[in-house]
């Protein structure tokens, strides 16, 4: 397997984020979407209660991916409650892993990317404060992960921050002895940029920040040396003081400061970086703005010099339902459309089992990596609404399993109890639970993969019914909650639990109805799930439909097996 194809296989355990500023939305919300895609990640909704701790308290950092202890750090004296990836102040943080150049892997720090997110959510009230906290945490304790892109948003602003560690410890030789060079081993190098209001951005496992203005050339840019100035509203670029100098020291860059590109230096785009990663950004941009066709060859990995912009202005303003639907994509309408090639089979299933690359007769090929993918543990559409009180304004529209067949259920950021179907510990990747949404949604999606083009219509009908009802209900209760704050936490808990229970019950019914309708490759006659009966006795169905395979599929069978199954002519 070539290096580029190996990167594609690695990207299978990867994520997708879309970022939308309030000027690009119909109601002034900001949005961050996140699909946490991993073949070993269980879909559940994390919760951390607000708390107070004695000064000097320490706690152990546990690596989010592996569960491995990394070391102890100082606990904040006061922490905020966190629901999933959103805290009680409507601060939301998402991520995608891009890896980066080989020489900066295997860092020895204490703070991994997942812990960085969840610790920051417990300590920061807004996006600018989050960037400051994240920078200070990795500076003090060291970074322990690969290169990451972070989405950071509050009700007013949306930022993209890209970070990479400094690799293995660097030693200088002094008087013939190795001496640890502390300057080159502290923290990480990073850049954060505020998305201009009215624009949208995205990242999907490929670093996207290229050149950026530095503080010597722009009053709106500061380095970490002046991090205290981050709260100046004119500042829209913040970067690690040594982001360029470190690259020169490692031999990664030799140009001027003005021409320095973070992505081109720390994570250069390759064929796989474009095809398996940037293509998902392209799919999002292509669905919200005209004129994106000029980047199609770049997205497909054929013209790597024609890079897409970091952000674009959409043709129209977006709402929460738009964001849900934008998370559902298999490259439909592009040359990469996963429903069109023979790999989709006779029922147009837009999924390919791993690995993502394969070789035949000395030639190498790939499967596409789309936004919607089978290995999603959980995903969300985070909505930050500044027009409401903070615990009402933040809504984490949370779903488990494949984004295409999930239902985004509203969890207010002010809840203090997680509904049972999403609760941590209710099942895991090795333990089935009858009451876990993750397993229920996987039952439906995995069954649908067998006869996808028929079943997906039934699934989408119920999905739309639930989500549109949720959107209406959230709009109505938000006004009520905002005007009457009595027993607010209990009311928020009750509402989110009611929505989750309604979703779970309806989806369980759907799983039963799909089995009845599509058993044994047949399709029962009827309107939706109102099946036709013979009328002669209860439960006696009329003879079901037995749709033929498409002709191209029969021809494919004949080409491969026709001599064995051909009926002789009389």
Over residues 83-127, the pLDDT tens digits come to 999 999 999 999 999 999 999 988 889 999 999 999 999 999 999
In a domain, 312, yes or no: yes
What's the mean pLDDT in 431-438?
Answer: 98
The CA-atom distances, in angstroms, between 483 and each of 235, 281, 410, 479, 524 are 35, 39, 20, 6, 50
Number of domains in the chain: 2
Whether the Cβ atoms of residue 137 and residue 96 lie closer than 8 Å to each other? no
What's the mean pLDDT in 213-236?
Answer: 97
What local confidence, expressed as pLDDT, does residue 387 receive? 97
What whole-number percentage of the chain has pLDDT above 70? 97
Confidence of residue 3 (pLDDT cuts 50, 70, 90): very low
Q: Out of 249-253, 429-433, 467-471, 524-528, which region has the weakest mean confidence (pLDDT)? A: 524-528
* Burial tier of 394 (Cβ tally within 10 Å: 0-12, 13-18, 19+): buried
Confidence of residue 209 (pLDDT cuts 50, 70, 90): very high
In a domain, 458, yes or no: no
Mean model confidence pLDDT for the chain:
95
Which of 313, 340, 366 corresponds to the end of one domain? 366
Backbone angles phi, psi at 171, to 5 degrees: -120, 140
C-alpha–C-alpha distance, residues 457 and 446, integer Å: 15
In a domain, 116, yes or no: yes
In a domain, 76, yes or no: no
What local confidence, expressed as pLDDT, does residue 177 receive? 78
In a domain, 127, yes or no: yes
What's the mean pLDDT in 329-333?
Answer: 97
Which of 337, 366, 395 corresponds to the end of one domain? 366
What local confidence, expressed as pLDDT, does residue 210 receive? 98
Q: pTM to 2 decimals? A: 0.95
What local confidence, expressed as pLDDT, does residue 107 receive? 85
* Burial tier of 112 (Cβ tally within 10 Å: 0-12, 13-18, 19+): buried
Question: What DSSP designation does 509 have?
Answer: H
C-alpha–C-alpha distance, residues 129 and 150, integer Å: 14
Whether the Cβ atoms of residue 397 and residue 416 lie closer than 8 Å to each other? no
Show the domain range for 196.
3-33+92-366
In a domain, 393, yes or no: no
Which is it for strands 47-48 and 82-83: parallel, antiparallel or unpaired? antiparallel
In a domain, 404, yes or no: no
pLDDT greater than 90 at residue 170? no
106: left (phi over 0), alpha (psi -120 to 50) or beta: left
What local confidence, expressed as pLDDT, does residue 176 receive? 80
Which of 366, 381, 407 corresponds to the end of one domain? 366
What whole-number percentage of the chain has pLDDT above 90? 92
In a domain, 391, yes or no: no
C-alpha–C-alpha distance, residues 478 and 380, integer Å: 19
pLDDT greater than 90 at residue 443? yes
Query: What confidence tens digit (pLDDT) does each residue in 480-492 have?
Result: 999 998 999 999 9
Confidence of residue 500 (pLDDT cuts 50, 70, 90): very high
Length of the chain: 570
Coil/strand/helix, residue 166 = coil
What's the mean pLDDT in 560-564?
Answer: 95
pLDDT greater than 60 at residue 1? no
pLDDT greater than 80 at residue 24? yes
What's the mean pLDDT in 394-401?
Answer: 98
Confidence of residue 7 (pLDDT cuts 50, 70, 90): very low
């Amino acid at each position: 397997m070539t290096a580029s194809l190996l990167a594609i296989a690695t990207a299978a355990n990867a994520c997708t984020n879309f970022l939308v500023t309030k000027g690009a939305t119909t109601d002034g919300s900001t949005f961050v979407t996140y699909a946490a895609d991993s073949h070993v990640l269980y879909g559940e909704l994390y919760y951390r209660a607000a708390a107070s701790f004695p000064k000097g308290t320490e706690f152990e950092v546990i690596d989010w991916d592996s569960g491995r202890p990394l070391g102890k750090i100082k606990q904040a004296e006061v922490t905020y409650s966190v629901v999933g990836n959103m805290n009680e102040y409507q601060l939301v943080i998402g991520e995608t892993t891009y890896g980066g150049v080989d020489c900066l892997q295997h860092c020895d720090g204490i703070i991994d990317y997942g812990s960085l997110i969840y610790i920051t959510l417990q300590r920061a009230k807004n996006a600018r404060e989050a960037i400051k906290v994240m920078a200070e945490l990795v500076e003090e304790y060291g970074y322990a992960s690969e290169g990451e892109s972070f989405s950071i948003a509050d009700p007013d602003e949306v930022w993209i921050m890209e970070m990479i560690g400094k690799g293995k410890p660097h030693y200088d030789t002094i008087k013939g002895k190795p001496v640890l060079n502390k300057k080159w081993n502290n923290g990480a190098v990073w850049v954060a940029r505020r998305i201009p209001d009215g624009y949208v951005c995205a990242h999907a496992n490929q670093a996207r920040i290229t050149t950026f203005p530095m503080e010597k050339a722009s009053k709106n840019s500061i380095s970490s040396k002046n991090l205290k100035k981050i709260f100046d509203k004119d500042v829209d670029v913040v970067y690690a003081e040594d982001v360029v100098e470190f690259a020169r020291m490692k031999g990664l860059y030799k140009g001027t400061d003005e021409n320095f590109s973070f992505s081109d230096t720390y994570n250069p785009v390759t064929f796989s970086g474009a095809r398996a990663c940037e293509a998902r950004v392209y799919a999002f941009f292509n669905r919200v703005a005209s004129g994106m066709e000029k980047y199609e060859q770049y997205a497909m990995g054929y013209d790597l010099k024609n890079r897409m912009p970091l952000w674009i202005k959409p043709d129209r303003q977006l709402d929460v339902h738009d964001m849900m639907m934008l998370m559902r994509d298999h490259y439909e309408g592009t040359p990469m459309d996963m429903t069109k090639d023979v790999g989709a089979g006779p029922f147009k299933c837009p999924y390919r089992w791993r690995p993502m690359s394969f070789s035949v007769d000395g030639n190498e090929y790939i499967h596409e990596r789309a936004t919607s993918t089978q290995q999603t543990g959980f995903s969300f559409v985070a909505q930050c609404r500044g027009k409401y009180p903070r615990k009402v304004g933040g809504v984490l529209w949370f779903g488990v399993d494949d984004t295409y067949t999930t239902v985004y259920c509203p969890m207010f950021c002010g809840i203090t109890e997680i509904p049972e179907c999403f609760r941590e510990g209710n099942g895991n990747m090795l333990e089935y639970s009858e009451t876990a949404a993750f397993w229920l949604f996987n039952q439906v999606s995995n069954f649908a993969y067998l006869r996808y083009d028929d079943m997906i219509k039934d699934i989408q009908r119920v999905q739309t019914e639930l989500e549109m009802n949720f959107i209406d209900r959230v709009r109505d209760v938000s006004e009520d909650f905002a005007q009457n704050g009595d027993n607010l936490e209990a009311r928020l808990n009750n509402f989110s639990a009611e929505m989750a229970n309604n979703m779970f019950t309806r989806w369980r019914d759907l799983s039963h109805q799909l089995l009845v309708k599509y058993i044994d490759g047949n399709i029962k006659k009827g309107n939706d799930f109102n099946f036709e009966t013979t009328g002669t006795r209860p439960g006696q169905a009329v003879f079901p439909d037995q749709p033929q395979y498409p002709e191209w599929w029969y021809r494919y069978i004949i080409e491969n097996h026709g001599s064995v199954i051909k009926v002789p002519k009389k």
